[in-house]
Amino acid sequence: MFFFACKNKHFLKNFSINLPPLSKLLTFVPQKQSDMDKNKTDNKTELADLGEFGLIKRLTENIQLRNNQTVMGVGDDACVLEYSEEQLVVTNDLLIEGVHFDLGYTPLMHLGYKAVVVNVSDVLAMNAFPKQVLVSIAVSNRFGLEAIEELYKGIHLACKDYGVDLVGGDTSSSTKGLFLSITAIGSAPKERIVYRSGAGLNDILCVSGDLGGAYMGLQLLERENQIFRADPNIQPDLSGNDYVLQRQLRPQARIDIITFLKKQDIIPSSMIDISDGLSSEAIHLCLNSGLGCKIFEDKIPIAMETDSLAEEFGIESAVCALNGGEDYELLFSIKPADYEKIKSNPSISAIGHFTDKAEGMSVVGKNGAKIPLNAQGWNAFLNKK
């Protein structure tokens, strides 16, 4: 097995969220538990008693606005924003219980945090800085006020960590389950906005942080959830796996990388965030830029924790990095002339370069073999046992 020790995973310490290690915090609950408020099953406050306006008030009453572009936040028919010079980037994600998250093991606070992070990550991937978010929820009567407040605790924490204002949203009931839709707004000067389509021949392909950890975190949670469902008397022992659990349940968006690039006066030629795995995102950059690429397997950064858990599961960790997902790292390209400026940043790895389209898109394995990027070959490694 190979691994690249994660060079800088401790950048997360700068963030305000300070939770107990996930391996201690997590409890598994049966899937069809009627009351999702795990900790306070006895004193659930019914949302129906509170009413829509009461709930909105509880969720938004302590909002502090942080950005001068926010003229009016929550409290009117629409928020009012003032951007005079910069271009806006706007993105939205919809998260559905049972499709995008499993409340059997996802703490609500982490769900709220992650929901904001994934949108912030999309804004950053345009080389813009996030400024505002709108949050819409639809909730069934299975949830009490306490549960929704947990969700919002995570949302508010993420807003604080990334310096964004919660400026509005919508609140509705649902017949079944929890729906969460988040819109994020960010901005950058027109000339700094980065598209997927701008890569040039020989540009260097770089990735932030390390990859594959979120996928291994999910594998672990799914495995332990299966065991729990077979015997609900056994709570899983997740100790020693905090890193991958955090990668899955509490990812971070790489605002530090965008800040670094700005300071170095580097505008990436193309960029995308890694939500679906390195392979899929590299293909997006190639197709949009009309180029091919070569990625070197031994340059793909993988944390030691990811590597050893992958080994336990009988999975190639490179496959987790290529075909897993939800790492929310940034994949971007720079001109060869800018390489000097990034090479000493421990959070950035150069993993390959763009080639002529005719050369195709490939990963060069450690043995020198060229494997087409989108080939099933990588999937076939997923279960090598």
Q: Does 74 bind ligand ADP (CB under 6 A)?
A: yes
Segment near ligand ADP (CB under 6 A), from 56-64, 157-165, 232-240, 293-301? 56-64
At residue 148, φ and ψ (nearest 5 deg) are -70, -30
Q: Does 52 bind Mg ion (CB under 5 A)?
A: no
Q: Does 148 bind ligand ADP (CB under 6 A)?
A: no
Q: Are 95 and 147 in contact (CB under 8 A)?
A: no
Least distance from Mg ion to the Cβ atom of residue 74, Å = 11
Q: Does 170 bind Mg ion (CB under 5 A)?
A: yes
Binding-residue pattern over the window 151 to 180 for ligand ADP, x denoting contact by CB under 6 A: ---------------x-xxxx---------
Least distance from ligand ADP to the Cβ atom of residue 133, Å = 9
Q: Does 60 bind ligand ADP (CB under 6 A)?
A: yes
Task: Identify what 6 binds: Mg ion, ligand ADP, none; CB under 5 to 8 Å per kind.
Answer: none
Binding-residue pattern over the window 104 to 143 for ligand ADP, x denoting contact by CB under 6 A: -------------------------------xxx------
Q: What is the 3-state secondary structure (H, E, C) of 327-375?
A: CCCEEEEECHHHHHHHCCCCCEEEEEEEECHHHCEEEECCCCCEEECCC
Least distance from ligand ADP to the Cβ atom of residue 256, Å = 27
Task: Identify what 135 binds: ligand ADP, Mg ion, none; CB under 5 to 8 Å per kind.
Answer: ligand ADP
Segment near ligand ADP (CB under 6 A), from 68-76, 200-208, 213-221, 297-305? 68-76
- Residues found near Mg ion in the complex (CB under 5 A): 170
